[in-house]
């Protein structure tokens, strides 16, 4: 456990060295937040309510989505694991006396933790300053949002771990990544809240893991969870996907390592 904490801290410190890049990301996320928010405000101008969402709800989801980009890495970056499988350095990772999945999880949660502080908070703050967001008054809901944030980071890792793991079979994961960075933002409610999707499409997307990255956390923040059990149901949905992805990742790791061949002389 101490090792994993050290790895976590190392991940956090490593990303904190790229200060300008982080500041730039906040600017980019905020710019996109403002653009998406203004588009949605124009949509809600003619219709005060769409599928239970008001304009303020939609704008709140936009900024939550932008704040979650860094944490969940929904647009990338991929785990370095994929690249290390390709060039053979994964052999080193496999020799470590620490569980393989746990090692990568600890590094990535370090990255996510840094992103919460340096990207999520300022980006969301921009939204709070510029727009009327629908923010909960009761402190308990904020706690639920924090839990949802952690679970979203776990789901984000679970998905990216599987994408990277595909490298054991495909060697080059760039194709998988390209498809992933395309599906993730669309299916999660990042590009457009799922409530604005046609009902049938939204119903399908609400059963997939990506919804746990943005749509469900946003509904937890808004207190509008459509899942049975309300907020707890939403958290349970995220937790179930996080667990399923991590278990699948562990099982597949065991299979993959049996077939790994490291090239080189």
Partner 1 sequence: MADTVVVPYFRLAWAWCRALAQYPVSLTLLTLAQLGTTTVELAALFFVFGHVDALAGFTLHEALLIYGLTGTAFCLADLLMGSTERLGEHVRKGGFDVMLVRPVSPLVQLATDGFSPRRLGKLVPGLVALVVALGVLEISWTPGRMAMVPVLVVSGAVICCSLWVIGACMQFFIAEARELSNAITYGGYALSEYPLAIYGRDIVRAVTFVVPLAFVSWQPALYLLGRPDPLGMWPWLRYASPVVAVLLCAVAALTWRVGLRHYRSTGS
Q: Which residues of 179-210 are buried (b: 16+ CB within 10 A; e: fewer)?
A: ebbeebbebbbbebbbbebeeeebeebbeebb
Are 217 and 238 spatial neighbours (Cβ–Cβ below 8 Å)? yes
Q: Binding residue for partner 1 (CB under 8 A) from 3, 4, 32, 56?
A: 32
Window of 33-41, 59-67, 98-106, 153-161 that interacts with partner 1 by CB under 8 A: 33-41
Strand partners, 74: 76
The reply to whether 20 sits near partner 1 by the rule CB under 8 A is: yes
> Closest approach of Cβ 20 to partner 1, in Å?
4
Task: Supply the Cα-derived Rg of the chain in whole angstroms.
Answer: 19
- Distance, in Å, from the CA atom of 44 to the CA atom of 48, rounded to the nearest integer, reads 5
From the CB of 175, what's the least distance to partner 1, in Å? Answer: 5
**Judged by CB under 8 A, how many residues of this single chain contact partner 1?**
33
List phi, psi (to 5°) of 89.
Answer: -65, -15
User: According to the binding rule CB under 8 A, does residue 36 interact with partner 1?
Assistant: yes
The helix/strand/coil state of 190 is coil
- Footprint of partner 1 on residues 174-193 (CB under 8 A)? 174-175, 178-179, 181-182, 185-186, 191-192
Q: Which of 201, 193, 149, 231 is nearest to 57 (CA)?
A: 193
Closer residue to partner 1 in complex, CB, 117/143: 117
Can residue 173 be called a binding residue for partner 1 (CB under 8 A)? no
CA distances from 80 to 10, 95, 130, 177 (A): 15, 17, 36, 12
Query: Should residue 200 be labelled a site residue for partner 1 when binding is judged by CB under 8 A?
Result: no
Give the nearer residue to partner 1 in terms of CB position, either 51 or 257.
Answer: 51
CB of 137 to partner 1, least distance (A): 29
Pick the binder of partner 1 from 15, 25, 61, 210 (CB under 8 A): 25
For residue 172, state whether it binds partner 1 (rule: CB under 8 A). yes
Distance CA 132, CA 44 (A): 14
Task: Please report how close the Cβ of residue 95 comes to partner 1 at its closest, in angstroms.
Answer: 29
Residues 154 and 242: beta-carbon distance below 8 Å:
yes
10 lies in the binding site for partner 1 (CB under 8 A) = no
Say if CB 76 and CB 181 are below 8 A apart. Answer: yes
Using CB under 8 A, pick the residue from 5, 6, 39, 128 that binds partner 1: 39
Q: Does 166 bind partner 1 (CB under 8 A)?
A: no
CA angle 236, 165, 235 (to 5 degrees): 10
- Contact status: 43 vs partner 1 (CB under 8 A): yes
Residues 6+ apart with CB under 8 A from 121: 67
21 part of the interface to partner 1, by CB under 8 A:
yes
Q: How far is the CB of 90 from partner 1 (least distance, A)?
A: 21
Query: How distant is the alpha carbon of residue 212 from its chain centre?
Result: 8
Q: Which chain residues interact with partner 1 by CB under 8 A?
A: 18, 20-21, 24-25, 27-28, 31-32, 35-36, 38-39, 41-43, 46-47, 50, 172, 174-175, 178-179, 181-182, 185-186, 191-192, 196-198
């Amino acid at each position: 456990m101490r090792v994993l904490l050290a790895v976590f801290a190392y991940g956090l410190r490593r990303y904190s060295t790229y200060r300008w890049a982080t500041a730039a990301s906040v600017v980019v996320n905020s710019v996109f937040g403002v653009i998406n928010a203004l588009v949605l405000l124009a949509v809600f101008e003619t219709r005060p309510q769409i599928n239970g969402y008001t304009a303020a709800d939609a704008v709140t989801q936009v900024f939550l989505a932008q704040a979650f980009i860094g944490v969940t890495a929904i647009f990338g970056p991929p785990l370095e694991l994929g690249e290390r499988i390709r060039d053979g350095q994964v052999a080193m990772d496999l020799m470590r006396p620490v569980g393989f999945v746990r090692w990568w999880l600890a590094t990535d949660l370090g990255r996510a933790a840094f992103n919460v502080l340096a990207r999520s908070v300022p980006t969301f703050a921009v939204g709070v300053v510029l727009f009327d967001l629908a923010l909960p008054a009761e402190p308990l809901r904020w706690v639920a949002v924090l839990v949802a944030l952690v679970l979203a980071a776990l789901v984000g890792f679970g998905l990216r771990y599987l994408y990277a793991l595909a490298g054991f079979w495909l060697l080059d994961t760039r194709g998988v990544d390209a498809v992933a960075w395309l599906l993730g933002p669309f299916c999660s409610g990042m590009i457009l809240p799922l409530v604005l999707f046609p009902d049938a499409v939204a119903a399908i997307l609400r059963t997939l893991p990506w919804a746990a990255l943005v749509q469900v956390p946003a509904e937890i923040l808004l207190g509008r969870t459509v899942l049975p059990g309300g907020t707890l149901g939403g958290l349970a949905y995220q937790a179930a996907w996080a667990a399923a992805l991590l278990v699948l990742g562990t099982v597949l790791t065991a299979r993959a390592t049996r077939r790994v061949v490291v090239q080189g002389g």
